[in-house]
Amino acid sequence: MIAADAQPGEGQRDLGDVQAEAPGPTVIVIAAIHGNEPAGVLAARQVIAALQAGSTRLCGGRVAGLVGNLGAMQAGVRGRVRDLNRAWTADQIAAVRAQHPDADDPEQAEQRALLGRLEDLFETARGPVVVLDLHTTSGGGPPFTVPPDTLAARRLGLALPFPLILGLLESVDGTVGEWVTRRGHTGLGVETGQHTDPQAVSLHAATIWRILHALGQIDAEPPEVAQAFAQVPADLPSVVVLAHRHGVTPGDGFHMRPGYAGFQRVRRGEVLAFDRAGPVVAPMTGRLLMPLYQQQGSDGFFVVRDVRRPWLVASSVLRRAGGHLLVRALGARMAEEELHFDRPPGAPARALLVLLGYRRQELDGQRLRAHRLQEPRRRPRRR
């Protein structure tokens, strides 16, 4: 367990900053955007301290670590009044920018400070920018990555020996990873297990090292990376896509049947849980993700399905070839960057939307709105 006194208590947002002489990517580690998830903070400190000490040399670019929600971390809570990882929609950011700081609620004050640091790092970058958003969960389970659905984020996620989950961010608005992507950079969310498990720290540290190596910023990974990744179960899938979310509300008496673990295979019709209405069954064959065994939370469980390699290749080829023009042939109107369907599109159109990286939003059970994130822009390196 991570002892309480091992939690950083200096009240500093900056977790360190290392710059190489040579230009290269800027990797920004955001830790504890959920204040009760200190593992990423400890990991970022470890990696940056090792780079500063020179035991591993940074041969290009920059690495900086930031605490996401400092006040919530000091209070030991996820957020003080809100979830800071749902606050990054264009409207919410515009509201913070327009408002006087005295009017900020605790999370807006955090966001204002974080925005300032992030904009500064974006502005001074001498190469591509990658933002790693480090998380842990209350329920534990195997590690996984959650990329905003761009090919660049996918590619980065595949450098890690964790399952990559496509489509999970689709139902969530306002994550920092999505904002980073809209700003033309690459974001990647990483979950490494239970909040107080020391393995979550070593997996986060190994994640940062692996990404630095994948980006060519270090020549070799320190030996603890292989040790940490050896602890990851070998039978995990490589890429999965969200197929179903079972939402729960406090009154419905939801409880999982005991013994389910993350990524465990389930069959269609299998009884997974019970609520007031009776048994809750798996609506399709797949794998179970994040079964809810705590009292709190609005996600009962998710079912994900394995994604085969040809599907990944097809989606990559289609996106590069401008395949998004195809969806217009399926009855969509294009309005600015969004697609609008006045009637629910059929299964082939939905599959195509996922393939092309569109995030869907049901409006009233009939109409559907979809938009996709743009790939990171290529920028000339500044000297």
Question: Applying CB under 5 A, which residues contact Zn ion?
Answer: 34, 37, 135
Nearest to 207 by CA among 309, 349, 305, 63: 63
Asked if 301 and 289 touch (Cβ cutoff 8 Å), the reply is: yes
Shortest Cβ 310–Zn ion spacing (Å): 33
Whichever of 25 and 68 has its CB closer to Zn ion, that residue is 68
Alpha helices in 124-264 (DSSP H): 151-157, 176-182, 198-214, 224-229
Tokens 């009017």: give the residue. Answer: 103
Shortest Cβ 34–Zn ion spacing (Å): 4
Shortest Cβ 133–Zn ion spacing (Å): 8
Whichever of 75 and 330 has its CB closer to Zn ion, that residue is 75
The radius of gyration computed from the CA coordinates of the chain, to the nearest angstrom, equals: 21
Whichever of 135 and 210 has its CB closer to Zn ion, that residue is 135
Asked if 209 and 221 touch (Cβ cutoff 8 Å), the reply is: yes
Distance CA 314, CA 215 (A): 25
Shortest Cβ 35–Zn ion spacing (Å): 9
Whichever of 35 and 61 has its CB closer to Zn ion, that residue is 35
Whichever of 37 and 107 has its CB closer to Zn ion, that residue is 37
H, E, C per residue of 112-159? HHHHHHHHHHHHCCCCCEEEEEEEEECCCCCCEEECCCCHHHHHHHCC
All residues at 6 or more sequence positions from 44 whose CB lies less than 8 Å from its CB, including other chains: 15, 16, 29, 31, 65, 134, 204, 208
Shortest Cβ 211–Zn ion spacing (Å): 18
Q: What DSSP state is assigned to residue 201?
A: H
Whichever of 15 and 18 has its CB closer to Zn ion, that residue is 15
Whichever of 78 and 210 has its CB closer to Zn ion, that residue is 78
CA distances from 276 to 254, 284, 298 (A): 7, 21, 16
Shortest Cβ 40–Zn ion spacing (Å): 9
Shortest Cβ 192–Zn ion spacing (Å): 11
> For the chain, how many residues are written?
383
316 φ, ψ (degrees, to nearest 5)? -65, -45
